């Protein structure tokens, strides 16, 4: 299942938006705070959910909004109705069961799991109702249950199907994808998952927030695919549905932000990712057709046309992405601007004293190897004669 286009009218803060093409593998949505990135992901998720979503509402002041999309050549749409009447929340309503779709997985921003004691390992949950979570995102509380259960069974011949064996192997490899010094070690008789790290063997819940965030995504996806496709045995690496992830960079150091998309697309090569980000490091790894940079006013949004190199953003600096793609007006601080303006004004006015003072300030502000340092020094020396 792949999305080809999307149209949103009067949903959340969005008055109008039309996206005519999506990449079949990776789509990275960026834009300023509050522009509507999460509204877009929520809207897509709600198309595949049997319940009226809680997280999005019709645009304030309107009676009805609409989400429409072309998916695998077929147009699907959903009206979004007014939910608040005199500030009272209307009951959660089942709109249409046919909308529920197993092929959509949504990871919202809350993804750092806490320690959870598992006194017993239960049987697999019922498949029914798993898609009601579609619009609200996966909570992934059951990652530990799934992993421990599968790992224990994997030691016994024929307990797991071949697909389940492959899926647990993939899950084990996920522990080391961003840093190969961390590896899965074992499970214990208390149903704990132990990982080997450079500082010792620890419960997996004690890993850093960045690691937990990535495991929440990767193990959460594999677990969910297995639970949803119990009957037809889908290999996680063969999953060809849609995976939505809000703010992919959460808790990740810039170096990992620059790796995370390739980890996702290599682990799930047939899926269509639609993710949002505020990270120039994520965008830096993108191909030309993978970035949806939003702009617009009063909720009338559009995808900006960017002057992109044939190989995308891989040769661009982070500063170039911040200004040209993410719309940042200035990558320098106000303080720098103020001192620099003082310096150039003093040069224009031939004011040696003011220029020397401003130059001394610049000297303390700039990076030690900033290329324009030499030019500023030459300009000051020239003024002094």
Interface positions with Mg ion (CB under 5 A): 37-38
Give me the half-sphere count of Cα atoms (radius 13 Å) on the Cβ side of residue 221: 33
Instruction: Tell which one of 2, 9, 12, 160 touches ligand ATP (CB under 6 A).
Output: 12
Q: Does 298 bind ligand ATP (CB under 6 A)?
A: no
* Complex with Mg ion: residue 38 or 272, whichever CB lies closer: 38
Q: Does 33 bind ligand ATP (CB under 6 A)?
A: yes
Interface with ligand ATP by CB under 6 A: which range of 32-40, 96-104, 138-146, 198-206? 32-40
The least distance separating ligand ATP from the CB of residue 57, rounded to whole angstroms, comes to 4
Instruction: Tell which one of 18, 60, 188, 190 touches ligand ATP (CB under 6 A).
Output: 60
Residues with Cβ < 8 Å from 121, sequence gap 6 or more? 145, 148, 149, 152, 191
How far, in Å, CA of 43 to CA of 21, rounded? 16
* Complex with Mg ion: residue 207 or 245, whichever CB lies closer: 245
Nearest to 382 by CA among 355, 342, 354: 355
Which residue in the block uniquely carries the two structure tokens 């999305």? 3
Residues with Cβ < 8 Å from 4, sequence gap 6 or more? 21, 22, 69, 70, 71, 72, 73
Instruction: Tell which one of 2, 37, 281, 303 touches ligand ATP (CB under 6 A).
Output: 37
φ, ψ of residue 384 to 5 degrees: the values are: -70, -20
Q: Name the 3-class secondary structure at 209.
A: helix
Rule CB under 6 A: which of 107-136 touch ligand ATP?
A: none
CA dist 364 → 34, 344, 358, 377 (Å): 36, 17, 10, 13
Q: Name the 3-class secondary structure at 256.
A: helix
* Complex with ligand ATP: residue 11 or 171, whichever CB lies closer: 11
Q: Does 272 bind ligand ATP (CB under 6 A)?
A: no
CA dist 381 → 5, 349, 373, 374 (Å): 59, 15, 12, 10
Instruction: Tell which one of 57, 197, 267, 284 touches ligand ATP (CB under 6 A).
Output: 57
Phi-psi region of 96 (alpha: psi -120 to 50; beta: other; left: phi over 0): beta
Q: Does 36 bind ligand ATP (CB under 6 A)?
A: yes
The least distance separating ligand ATP from the CB of residue 33, rounded to whole angstroms, comes to 4
Q: Name the 3-class secondary structure at 215.
A: helix
The least distance separating ligand ATP from the CB of residue 273, rounded to whole angstroms, comes to 17
Q: Does 39 bind ligand ATP (CB under 6 A)?
A: yes
In 42-144, the DSSP E strands lie at 64-71, 74-81, 84-85, 88-89, 104-107
Q: Does 35 bind ligand ATP (CB under 6 A)?
A: yes
Q: Does 59 bind ligand ATP (CB under 6 A)?
A: yes
H/E element holding 361? helix 352-365
The least distance separating ligand ATP from the CB of residue 276, rounded to whole angstroms, comes to 6
* Complex with Mg ion: residue 37 or 259, whichever CB lies closer: 37
Q: Does 34 bind ligand ATP (CB under 6 A)?
A: yes
The least distance separating ligand ATP from the CB of residue 11, rounded to whole angstroms, comes to 8
Please count the residues of this chain forming the interface with ligand ATP, following the rule CB under 6 A.
13
The least distance separating ligand ATP from the CB of residue 294, rounded to whole angstroms, comes to 8
**Which residues lie near ligand ATP (CB under 6 A)?**
12-13, 31, 33-39, 57, 59-60
């Amino acid at each position: 299942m792949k999305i080809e286009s999307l149209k949103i009218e009067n949903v959340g803060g969005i008055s109008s938006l039309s996206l005519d093409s999506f990449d079949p593998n990776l789509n990275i949505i960026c834009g300023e705070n509050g522009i509507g990135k999460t509204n877009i992901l929520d809207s897509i998720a709600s198309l595949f959910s049997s319940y009226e979503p809680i997280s999005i509402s019709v645009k304030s002041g309107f009676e009805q909004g609409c989400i429409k999309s072309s998916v695998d050549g077929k147009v699907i749409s959903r009206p979004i109705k007014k939910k608040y009447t005199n500030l009272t929340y209307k009951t959660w309503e089942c709109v249409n069961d046919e909308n529920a779709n197993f092929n959509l997985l949504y990871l919202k921003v809350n993804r750092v799991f806490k320690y959870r004691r598992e006194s017993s390992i239960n049987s697999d949950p019922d498949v029914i109702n798993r898609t009601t979570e579609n619009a609200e995102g996966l909570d992934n509380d059951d990652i530990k249950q799934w992993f421990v259960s599968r790992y224990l069974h994997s030691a016994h011949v024929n307990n797991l199907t071949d697909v389940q064996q492959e899926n647990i192997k993939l899950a084990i490899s996920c522990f080391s994808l961003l840093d190969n010094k961390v590896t899965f070690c074992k499970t214990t008789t208390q149903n704990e998952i132990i990982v080997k790290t450079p500082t010792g063997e620890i419960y997996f819940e004690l890993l850093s927030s960045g690691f937990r965030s990535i495991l929440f995504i990767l193990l959460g996806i594999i677990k969910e695919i297995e639970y949803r496709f119990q009957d037809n045995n889908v290999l996680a690496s063969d999953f060809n549905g849609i995976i939505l992830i809000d703010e992919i960079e959460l808790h990740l150091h810039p170096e990992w932000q620059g790796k995370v998309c390739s980890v996702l697309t290599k682990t799930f090569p047939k899926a269509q990712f639609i993710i949002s980000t505020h990270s120039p490091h994520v965008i830096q790894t993108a191909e030309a057709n993978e970035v949806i940079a939003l702009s617009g006013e009063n909720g009338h949004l559009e995808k900006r046309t960017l002057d992109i190199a044939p190989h995308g953003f891989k040769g661009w600096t982070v500063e170039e992405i911040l200004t040209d793609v993410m719309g940042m007006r200035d990558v320098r601080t106000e303080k720098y601007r103020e001192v620099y303006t003082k310096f150039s004004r003093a040069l224009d006015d031939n004011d040696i004293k003011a220029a020397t003072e401003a130059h001394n300030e610049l000297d303390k502000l700039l990076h030690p190897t900033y290329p324009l340092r030499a030019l500023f020094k030459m300009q000051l020396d020239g003024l002094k004669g």
